[in-house]
Structures are given as structure tokens and as C-alpha cells.
Structure 1
Amino acid sequence: MKVQWHKLWIKTILWLGTEILFTFIGLDDLADYSEFLCQQQELASRGKAYPTLTVNSVF
């Protein structure tokens, strides 16, 4: 398999630049949160249970 290094470098630099720009603007956190919500909806539609935290009482 031959890697097209020129295209790989361009895509990597564009992705990194976009991530840095969105981080400065504050949109990166919003995008991460929306990805998290979409993932949760996908898991719910598959019928998988969400992980829960159980706390044992000492009293």
C-alpha cells in the first residue's frame, strides 16, 4: 500500500489548525459535548445499559 504523504500532511495540518482555532473560539468543547450526546443516543437506541455508580452506605 502506497501512502500519499503530501495529502496526509495537508489533511493533518488542516485538522490540527482547525482544532486549535476551535479551541481558542470555544467551539471545541461544544463539539466534544455534541459528540458525547450523539454517542449516548446511539447506545440508548441499541438497548445497552448505561454504566451506573453504586455507593455502599457505611451507616
Structure 2
Amino acid sequence: MKVKWSQLVLKIVVWLFAEIYLTVLGLDNLADYGEFVFQYKALVTIADASTTLDSFT
């Protein structure tokens, strides 16, 4: 597997800059909360699907 180091470093630098910028603006917590909400919804959906599948057996 070839790693494109220049692209990897660029993505890391952009991500790090975005994290610092959002933290300074106070929006990083809002973004983290949004990720939490969407992750929670996904887990609830998976749990519902799992429960539905269990009822068929």
C-alpha cells in the first residue's frame, strides 16, 4: 500500500488548523455536540433494527 505523504500531511494540517480555528471561535463544542447527536441517532437506529431482527427469530 502506497501512502501519499504529501496528501496525508496536507489533510492533517488542514484538520489541525480547523480544530484550532473552531476552538478559538468557540464553535468546536458545537461541532462536537452535533457529532454526538448524529452518533446517538445512529446507535438508536441500530438498536431498533437489532430489536426488530430479534423478534423474527
- TM-score range, shorter-chain basis? 0.7 to 0.9
Aligned length: 48
Larger gyration radius, structure 1 or structure 2: 1
Identical aligned residues as a percent: 46
* Code of the aligned partner of 1:5: W
- Structure 2 regions of 5+ residues with no counterpart? 49-57
TM-score normalised by the chain length of structure 2 = 0.74
Regions of 4+ moved over 3 Å? none
- Across the aligned residues of Structure 1 and Structure 2, the Cα RMSD in angstroms comes to 1.2
- Structure 1 regions of 5+ residues with no counterpart? 49-59
TM-score normalised by the chain length of structure 1 = 0.72
- Structure with bigger helix share is 2
